[in-house]
Amino acid sequence: MEYRELFVGYYDTAILKKSNDVVLTTLSSIPPSNIAPTQRDFGSGFAYTYNKKDRFIIWRVTGNVLALHEVSLEHTLKDPILRILFPDAYQILPNVIIFAEANNICVIVATSARTLHRFKFPYPPQENRSIFENVTTSSLNSPKVIVPNITS
């Protein structure tokens, strides 16, 4: 049996230089809500099986940037890191949701600009490819819901 070590600490600059950075277009005309921008960085992980092989997505939020890193125990993946910048929000709200569908990995993100984003990443055609490999700004602009400000 072979083991592979996974780095789950802070991303160092060498890893971030290899990332695919995407900036979402600003579509919200609603100003950000009154959430104080004092939130600390947070993150977690998600495990799934693709072609009977285990894969993991390790994600981290820093302010208004979501960093996603896909890891495979069997292969070195091509372009496995994606960073998404949400320019119309000063922070991403806790509880980023990641789940697997029949043909996609879905990521749901809520921001302080009262927007909800759903991203779908299709499974790659080859096992050594990452789901984040060919992501661009135009392919990532997700269906977005703007939540109205509710006051009592």
Q: Identify how many contiguous H helices and E strands the chain contains and give both numbers.
A: 2, 9
Return the pLDDT at 99.
95
Residues 6+ positions from 53 with CB-CB distance below 8 Å: 72, 73, 74, 75, 127
| Tens-binned pLDDT, residue by residue, of the chain (152 aa) | 454 444 444 444 444 455 677 777 555 444 555 555 566 788 999 999 888 888 999 999 998 899 999 999 888 898 899 999 888 888 898 889 999 998 999 999 998 888 888 899 999 888 889 999 888 877 776 556 666 655 54
pLDDT value of position 1: 47
What is the pLDDT, as a whole number, of residue 87? 84
Bridge partners (DSSP) of residue 81 are 69
Give the C-alpha separation, 81 to 62, whole Å. 15
Distances in Å between the alpha carbon of 79 and those of 25, 71, 152?
A: 22, 10, 46
Q: What is the pTM of this model?
A: 0.75
Radius of gyration, CA atoms only, the chain: 16
